[in-house]
Homo-oligomer: A and B are copies of this chain.
């Protein structure tokens, strides 16, 4: 099933169990989700055992100064792009000294969309010691639903990177 069909809290519990068992730490870099991924992870008691924290880079300045996203990358590809998602994941992993890092950048809506980058377009990236992966998504819900889809996908991608299935 889709990662997002599994309740958010259950995804967070699975991630925590796996990270605590393996001694792995996690950090988050969030744009359109605004802190929702961190909120979900920290709803689970004991999350401080593996979740180091995160950066909510709503303004582009925060992406550059706090996550080390190159200005040239932002200017060439835009804030909602695979390149920026990857740079955010790498940046927060470095800044928070975590084993794994996940980044989300997208257009939650209802404003901010364009023909090239419509509302719902979201990139989710994960970085770890072995490298990084990024995925493109296009959701069709309202702002709140798009944020939740993005958060579920972010936690699901962390689980996938750890070799955990999405509950199938």
Contacts and interface: CB of A to CB of B under 8 A. Distances in A.
Contacts of A28: 35, 56
Contact of A45 (B37, B52, B66, B143): B143
Nearest to A48: B58
A51 B59 CA distance: 8
Contact of A43 (B38, B51, B147): B147
A2 to B, nearest CB: 22
A39 B35 contact: yes
B95 A66 contact: yes
A143 B43 contact: yes
A35 B109 CA distance: 20
A117 to B, nearest CB: 15
Q: How many copies of this chain are found per oligomer?
A: 2
Given A39-B34, A43-B143, A45-B110, A56 B56 contact: yes
Nearest to A144: B43
Interface string A110-131: 1110000000000000000000
Nearest to A34: B42
Given A35-B38, A109-B45, A53 B53 contact: no
Contacts of A147: 39, 42-43
Nearest to A95: B66
A97 B61 CA distance: 9
A39 B38 CA distance: 9
A40 to B, nearest CB: 8
Interface of A: 28, 30, 32-39, 41-43, 45-48, 51-59, 61-62, 65-66, 95-97, 108-112, 143-144, 147
